[in-house]
Amino acid sequence: MWVGASVAKISKQLAENKQAGQGGAAFPGLSFVERLFICLTIGALFFGLIISWYSQSTETKLTQTKQNGIAVSQWIQSAYRLKNTRLNLSDETGETRYCAGTEKLISKACILELIQENNIFKSLENPFFPENRNASLIAVFDSQAGIPEDVSPCASLSDSFSLFTASGLFNGKPKAWRGTIMLYVPLSDKKTSDKQTSDSKTSDNKAELITGYCNEGGRYERLVGEIQFSK
């Protein structure tokens, strides 16, 4: 009787193993076309999830880049005013000051002076390359460069610019432009005739800082609104 119980136990175990083996087969009872359709559907869902994740990640990086651009331009405006107020109240002379003087408007040299004095680049990071200290952060263009059109390739813009990374001024062009804040100061039209009115002369003492950025495709996009400067 003990032998019979053992045989029955072994038979039951074999039956369970056989059933488990059949259950473990991929898509039992389905044709090849049906199995192929299921595999393609699962693959499409997985691919869709990857695309959705990438799109959300890219949008987050672009949002951070835009916020950085607006913050930097507003900071430059405040630093410019503060610097001139401080210098006007003091008798500091000697070294060249690109942001001071009744005849001096905001310029590339002035922006570089403000950025370097305050090391603002150390508090920034390129959202597309957050761990790369050599990634481009801010590009400051000469007034002669002109204002680029939207969706212009950033790599094809004027060569007359200064570039900041988290390590400071960078000599040369970046390997990738995306995530870079672009600062432009248009030329002020000061070559006017003697018939100008006092109002138009007053407008000559105004300038604007135009801020843009390079999108995920490395193309220029202008941020809404300009920062106004006046003397």
Is the model more confident about 23 or about 108? 108
Q: How is residue 198 written in tokens?
A: 């006092």
pLDDT at 221 exceeding the cut of 90:
yes
Question: So what's the pLDDT on residue 215?
Answer: 94
The answer to whether residues 178 and 215 touch, using CB atoms and an 8 Å cutoff, is: yes
Please tell me the predicted confidence (pLDDT) of residue 181: 95
Average pLDDT, the chain: 74
Give the Å distances, CA to CA, from 104 to 26, 100, 101, 188: 77, 6, 5, 11
Per-residue pLDDT reduced to its tens digit, 157-215 = 888 889 999 888 888 888 899 999 999 887 654 443 343 444 444 344 566 788 999 99
Q: Phi/psi at 43 (nearest 5 deg)?
A: -65, -40
pLDDT in tens, 116-164: 888 888 888 999 998 898 899 999 988 777 778 888 999 888 888 899 9
Q: How many Å apart are CA 38 and CA 28, to the nearest integer?
A: 13
pLDDT digits (tens, 9 = 90+) for 31-57: 777 777 777 777 777 666 666 665 668
Alpha carbons 138 and 124: distance in angstroms, whole number? 9
**Predicted local distance difference test score (pLDDT) of residue 138:** 94
Nearest to 84 by CA among 114, 120, 119: 114
Residue 147 CA to residue 101 CA, distance in Å, equals 26
Give the pLDDT confidence of 57-105 residue by residue, as tens digits: 888 999 999 999 999 988 888 888 887 776 655 555 555 567 765 555 6
At 110, list the tokens.
Answer: 């002035």
- Give the chain as a 3 state SS string: CHHHHHHHHHHHHHHHHHHHHHHCCCCCCCCHHHHHHHHHHHHHHHHHHHHHHHHHHHHHHHHHHHHHHHHHHHHHHHHHHHHHHHHHCCCCCCCCCCCCCCCCCCCHHHHHHHHHHHCHHHHCCCCCCCCCCCCCCEEEECHHHCCCCCCCEHHHCCCCEEEEECCEEECCCCCCCCCCEEEECCCCCCCCCCCCCHHHHHHHCEEEEEEEEECCCCEEEECCCCEEEEC
pLDDT value at position 225? 64
Which residue has 């100061």 as its token pair? Answer: 185
- Percentage of residues in the chain having pLDDT higher than 70: 61
Measured CA to CA in angstroms, residue 33 lies from 24, 39, 115 at distances of 20, 10, 64
Q: Can you read off the two tokens belonging to residue 122?
A: 């150390």
Give the pLDDT confidence score for residue 55 in this predicted structure.
62
Query: How far is CA 176 from each of CA 166, 214, 219, rounded to the nearest angstrom?
Result: 15, 10, 11
Provide the residue ranges of all domains of the chain, joining segments of one domain with +.
64-188+200-230
Residue type, 180: T
